[in-house]
Structure 1
Amino acid sequence: MADAVHPTAVVDPRARIHPGVTVGAYSMVGPDVTIGADVEIGHHCVLEGRVELGPGVKVGHGSILGGEPQDLKFKEGTPSGVRIGAKTVIREYVTIHRATRADGWTRVGEGCLLMAMSHIAHDCTVGDGAIIINYAGITGHCEIGERATVGGLTGVLPFTRVGAYAYVGGVSKVNADVPPYMLVAGNPAVAHGINVVGLRRAGMPTAERRVLQDAYSLLYRSGLTPQRALERIQSELPPLPPLARLVEFLAGARRGICGPPRRGAGEGGDVTPEPESERV
């Protein structure tokens, strides 16, 4: 390991580091850090507190992992940490703060991409394959589902959920839960359709995408309340696995969900609304 650590890096001897890990110039690795095989840590990085990096993680220059949470109720010395899944890429100057509660973890899944200058706050959970674009701010206790995308310069309010495969357009304010598979944008973020492009890339069959579009129509185009729309989705549409995930998410929404576009309002953000019926 010694040959792969830059001579100006400060690595605590108590840190558990797999052979072959590279640590760049002027980086600091604390005593409670665990680093898996083939991890690359850039220059001027700081890993403090309990930080666990899975195999193949890449940490860009200037990133800070495991810093104290920006939360007034946090008590200094609380043993908590940050866990990063295998092959996740963390680009330059990303900050990820540790959890507020004892033995708690801020978690980022496998194969994620956290672009430069983005922030993941304390007690968040980011699912496998999620993408957080430049300057996005994920505040405390948020949940970002697998393969969801959060656009650049977007702010997500505390305790908010973004469902799996959802796409949040750039420069958005997310103050309510974003259901899985939805395309949302704006201030506040509103739903513009199903994330058809993302679902195609994920290999979802056409039949399943069409059912999700039918669910979107009931949820956002029927004029029904979310609860009544949920009841009709459950009673009228085939119980395919993606629909079951959507229903479970809607049933568990405690902060409300993103609403429909306001009549006469501009689209905003960086999304192009999908047609109500997918083109084949």
Structure 2
Amino acid sequence: MAEPVHPTAVVDPGARIHPAARIGAFSIVGAEATIGADVEVGHHCVLEGRVELGRGVKIGHGSVLGGRPQDLKFKEGTPSGVRIGAGTVLREYVTIHRATRADGWTDVGEGCLIMAMSHIAHDCKVGQGAIIINYAGITGHCEIGERATIGGLTGMVPFTRIGAYAYVGGVSKVTADVPPYMLVDGIPAVAHGINVVGLRRAGMPAPERRVLQDAYRLLYRSGLTPQRALERIRSELPTLPPVVRLVEFVAAARHGVCGAARRGADETGDVTRTPESEPV
């Protein structure tokens, strides 16, 4: 049976490593790392600063966690770190930088999949079950809700948010908040409809999906301002939990929410055809 810590790995004596964890060849683990049970750290990985890995986390070869933030305002020696929730999988060459604030954390929730070559910058918050596809660039202070999917080669502007269960198409540029449950795509990313397929897979009942489609039409197809659209959603639609969540997210958007796709934009082939009217 292979040794839990490969003999070529460099592990600081101060690191806290569960006996059931495994660390691959030529990996480096710093003094402030905490590695839980059944964690697998691949070969040539680097864990520096405060890095906490929950139970069953898998780190792909060549990944770097806890690196210095790419922020000119960051002060060397600031105590901050990276936390990865239980069961999350990071594939090859993923990079996640520690937070910029004292005692701050860059957080990735439980059960996420971060695909190869993706980057998560300082102070980001990624909800449980989120999927970030290859080469995506998540810049500083971004938030991604649970079970959201970020397409490959997609970039996010700092401080933007992507709501729960949203789907962002590949090679998109997210310049404003993406409300929960939306299907967005493009440069800049714009809303094409409700993520019906994702919500169906998540087990959301059909009546709730239908109400969300009604909310989408009021928010994006009525010609109303977002504030007026929210007023109509509150007054005309049932107060189901997904609707309340959507309204609260949009109301809290500090830099606005993404716009609507032009009529007929889906005919370019960038997004599946007419998703807003897809059967629920």
TM-score band w.r.t. shorter chain: over 0.9
Q: Identify the residue that residue 107 of structure 2 maps to in structure 1.
A: 107
Correspondence list, 1:228-243, <5 A: 228-243=228-243
**Large movers: runs of 4+ above 2 Å:** 262-271, 273-278
Work out the CA distance in 2 between the residues paired with 1:267 and 1:131.
26
What corresponds to 2:20 in structure 1? 20
Per-residue CA shift, 1:69-128, capped at 9, x if unaligned?
A: 000000111100000000000000000000001100000000000000000000000000
SS of the residue 2:276 aligns to: coil
Q: Which ranges of structure 1 fall in alignment gaps of 5 or more residues?
A: none
Tell me the CA shift for residue 256 of structure 1: 0.6
- Identify the residue that residue 47 of structure 1 maps to in structure 2: 47
- Does 1:89 pair with 2:89? yes
Q: TM-score, normalised by structure 2?
A: 0.97
Uncovered stretches (5+) of structure 2, i.e. residues with no partner: none
- Which range moves more in the overlay, 255-264 or 218-227? 255-264
Pair 1:4–1:255, CA change in 2 (3 A): same
Shift of 1:20: 1.5
Question: What is aligned with 1:213?
Answer: 213
The CA deviation string for residues 149-186 of structure 1, in whole angstroms up to 9 with x for no partner, is 00000000000000000000000000000000000000
2:206 is aligned with what amino acid?
Answer: T
Map of 1:5 onto structure 2: 5
Structure 1 position 276, deviation (Å): 3.0
Indicate the SS of the match to 2:277: coil
Q: Partner of 2:75 in structure 1?
A: 75
Counterpart of 1:192 in structure 2: which amino acid?
H
Shift of 1:271: 2.9
3-state SS of the aligned residue for 2:3?
Answer: helix
Say how many residue pairs are matched: 279
TM-score (norm 1): 0.97
Show the 5 A alignment for 1:155-166: 155-166=155-166
> Aligned AA for 2:116?
A
2:124 corresponding residue in structure 1: 124
Aligned equivalents of 1:54 and 1:44: distance in 2?
20
Amino acid paired to 1:95: T
Deviations 1:131-165 (A, max 9, x none): 00000000000000000000000000000000000
Aligned-residue identity in percent: 83
Root-mean-square deviation over aligned CA pairs:
1.4
In structure 2, the partner of 1:189 is 189
CA change 1:14–1:269 in 2 (3 A) is farther
- Contact 1:192-1:273 at 8 Å conserved across structures: no
For 2:135, the equivalent position in structure 1 comes to 135
